[in-house]
Amino acid sequence: MPCHHCGIKAVQKVVEGLCPEVKPTDPYDRSCHRYTHLENIGCWYLDHTRRPGDIIGLETGQEGCVEGITWMTTRIRMLSNNIVVIPNNKLAQSIVTNYYLPDKEMALEITVPVSYEADIEKAERILAEEAEMAVDHVPGLLKEPRPQLSYVTGCRENFVKLILAFRVGEFVDQYTVRSELRKKILKRFRQEGISMALMPAFVYLGKNDNCGDKAQVRNS
């Protein structure tokens, strides 16, 4: 494995071959019509935070698996199964979340809105019990650390938000785990007579959220 300094020298030699008119004393001269080569090669070589097989999230909200990395571009297979090709210099300037670093485990949570009229302690106990039973039956839900439960009441809200925090083995596990936990919690709440509250939706009127008026739309 070459050292960092040797790697820089190797990149410079490649760039000189691609663009001989760039002077060695000024390798970043943007007047060169092939300056993009230098940007892409440098970004590809120096950045090791994205590897083939990693699942990443882009600042646009898109998520996918890194299929391949070349000197010029990075290919990402999106969850929709489409391939997106991004120039490395553009990717280096973006905020990217790597769901496989530092490891594949992910911390997640589920918010369960419970009416103030409900027995909150009973609802907490049910959530804790369902989470404990789920770790032995739901693939991808980790036993350690154990799922944690807390509740937070929001200002001017008509319900208590119970929050169940848990960890999954990797990114793709979150969908099955969330679905299974929600189904188990809903089924148990119905059996035990615990009423779940409807979370209100808000519509902001105006040019931006800071200046606009807020109108609450109640769910029916």
CATH number for the domain spanning 178: value is: 3.30.70.100
Count of positions (residues) in the chain: 220
Residue with tokens 């490891």: 103
On whether residue 56 sits in a domain, the answer given is: yes
**CATH number of the CATH domain containing 88:** 2.30.30.60
Domain coverage including residue 134? 106-192
Ranges 25-39, 104-118, 128-142, 198-212, most confident: 128-142
Mean pLDDT confidence for 149-155: 68
pLDDT band at residue 197 using 50, 70 and 90 as cut-offs: confident
End position of a domain, from candidates 64, 98, 132 = 98
Per-residue pLDDT, 19: 44
- Please check whether residue 162 is in contact with residue 122, taking contact to mean a CB–CB distance below 8 angstroms: no
Angle 132-200-196 from CA coordinates, rounded to 5°: 35
Higher local confidence (pLDDT), 57 or 150? 57
Mean pLDDT confidence for 81-108: 92
| Domain match, 152 and 69 both | no
| Domain match, 185 and 121 both | yes
On whether residue 24 sits in a domain, the answer given is: yes
End position of a domain, from candidates 68, 98, 128 = 98
| Domain match, 184 and 124 both | yes
Per-residue pLDDT, 36: 52
d(CA 220, CA 137): 35
Give the total number of structural domains in the chain. Answer: 2
End position of a domain, from candidates 55, 79, 98 = 98
| Domain match, 128 and 150 both | yes
On whether residue 209 sits in a domain, the answer given is: no
Which segment of 15-29, 108-122, 201-215 scores lowest on mean pLDDT?
A: 15-29
On whether residue 81 sits in a domain, the answer given is: yes
- Closest by alpha carbon to 164, among 189, 147, 184? 147
| Domain match, 94 and 136 both | no
